[in-house]
Amino acid sequence: MKRYAVFGHPVAHSRSPRIHAAFAAQCAIELEYTKIDASPDAFAGAVAAFGRAGGLGANVTLPHKLAAAALCEQVSDRARRAGAVNTLVRASNAWHGDNTDGVGLVRDLQARHGLDLHGRRTLIIGAGGAARGVAPALLDAGIGALVVANRTPASARTLLDAIDAPASARACGLDSLPMLGAFDLVINATAAARGDGLVALPASLVHTGSAAVDLGYGAAAAAFLDWARDAGAGVQVDGLGMLVEQAAESFMRWHGIRPNTDPVYAMLRADDGG
């Protein structure tokens, strides 16, 4: 049996096993896909033990995406630009890293929600592994001016430097948000904006043509999407479609087959009563 897993802390909520089981059934592939909860201190050891036990690949979620990059003998160009890894591939007794978050987000926004990203003035809230994962792909998709806002502005600047952002890209603190005007695309990429309640976001950040995207899904995305709706953003998108699309990209890295994501996305929406 081919062994795969998702690493996180916490990870009990993860839908990755259900997604990959559906992909495997669709593609007639037998596999075992489990959840592994590892604290930051235990993460490296847990990944090593999984490899020794025959693990062939893994997904990595919060808070380990940055740490996962350090465990890899090689990383893809998109993982290098992001400085974060969400997909591990076992090859020649070593881990190779990739980051499928960005391509998953772009594919979901363009193909599923019909959004033209070209030229959109874009705000990313947060500068952690999730933001690093999606920012390069958004730039490659042709977004317009980019602003990254974070509690610590220096971390936002570090992100822009790491992803080779254009000189026009700007880093700022959350206290600068009221002075930034409206954006065509606002992405919530920070768990801090969800865990203890949404940070104060001015309604001036969006207009009727704006798309507001939370990289989380379910209850984790509710506060931000409620804010976006109340503020007048014309489109609100949670991260469920991105989750499915990035998983499909991981699945293709492991098995060489791209699954059909639409029925799996519909399955998860049905699970939520949507």
- Which residue numbers belong to the known binding site? 14-16, 61, 77, 86, 101, 126-130, 215, 217, 239, 246
- Which residue numbers belong to the known binding site for shikimate? 14-16, 61, 86, 101, 217, 246
Q: Are 59 and 42 in contact (CB under 8 A)?
A: no
35 counts as catalytic: no
Cα–Cα–Cα angle for 80, 68, 237, rounded to 5 degrees: 75
Phi and psi angles of residue 12, each rounded to the nearest 5 degrees, phi first:
-60, -30
Cα–Cα–Cα angle for 42, 242, 188, rounded to 5 degrees: 80
- Which residue numbers belong to the known binding site for NADP(+)? 77, 126-130, 215, 239
Per-residue H/E/C for the chain:
CEEEEEEECCCCCCCHHHHHHHHHHHHCCCEEEEEEECCCCCHHHHHHHHHHCCEEEEEECCCCHHHHHHCCCEECHHHHHHCCCCEEEEECCEEEEECCHHHHHHHHHHHHCCCCCCCCCEEEECCCHHHHHHHHHHHHCCCCCEEEEECCHHHHHHHHHHCCCCCCCEEEEHHHHHHCCCCCEEEECCCHHHHCCCCCCCHHHCCCCCEEEECCCCHHHHHHHHHHHHHCCCEEECCHHHHHHHHHHHHHHHHCCCCCCHHHHHHHHHHCCC
Catalytic residue among 36, 43, 64, 65: 65
By annotation, the residues acting in catalysis are: 65
